[in-house]
């Protein structure tokens, strides 16, 4: 059983399109995240939800909209994709002590 699963694993799309990435965790954690990893492997936190409530929004453009229908799911929708959005997006969930459990990542390529 995959603890944190995200789909799709790969997305290739044109500039200006809209795309979504879905994430689900079966660990029973209350808090979930989206991280962006750029081409230099730098990991930057984007959003965090705790029990469906947004608690962290790290100055991400409003083209990015997270949605958490329940505490086991956190989806990411991106409007009007730009070249600079190309990256690997990781979903993660966490225990109360901050230990993160990551999905395998979704590689987004914007052409």
Question: Rule CB under 8 A: which residues touch other proteins?
Answer: 4, 31, 40-43, 45, 48, 50, 55-56, 90, 92, 94-105
| Phi-psi domain of 46 (left: phi exceeds 0; alpha: psi -120 through 50; beta: other) | alpha
Torsion sign over Cα 81, 71, 103, 91: positive
* Beta carbon of residue 55, minimum distance to other proteins (angstroms, whole number): 6
* Beta carbon of residue 3, minimum distance to other proteins (angstroms, whole number): 10
Residue with smaller CB distance to other proteins, 79 or 102: 102
From the list 62, 50, 54, the residue with the least C-alpha distance to 93 is 50
* Beta carbon of residue 42, minimum distance to other proteins (angstroms, whole number): 6
Residue with smaller CB distance to other proteins, 28 or 42: 42
Residue with smaller CB distance to other proteins, 82 or 99: 99
* Burial of residue 14 (number of CB atoms within 10 Å: 0-12, 13-18, 19+): exposed
């Amino acid at each position: 059983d995959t603890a944190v699963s995200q789909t799709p694993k790969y997305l290739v799309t044109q500039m200006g399109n809209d795309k979504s990435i879905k994430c689900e965790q079966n660990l029973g954690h209350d808090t979930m995240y989206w991280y962006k990893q750029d081409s230099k492997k730098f990991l930057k936190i984007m959003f965090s939800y705790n029990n469906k409530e947004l608690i962290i929004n790290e100055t991400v453009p409003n083209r990015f909209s997270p949605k958490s229908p329940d505490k086991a799911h956190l989806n990411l929708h991106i409007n009007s994709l730009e070249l600079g959005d190309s990256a690997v997006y990781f979903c993660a969930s966490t225990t109360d002590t901050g230990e993160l459990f990551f999905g395998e990542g979704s590689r987004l390529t914007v052409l």
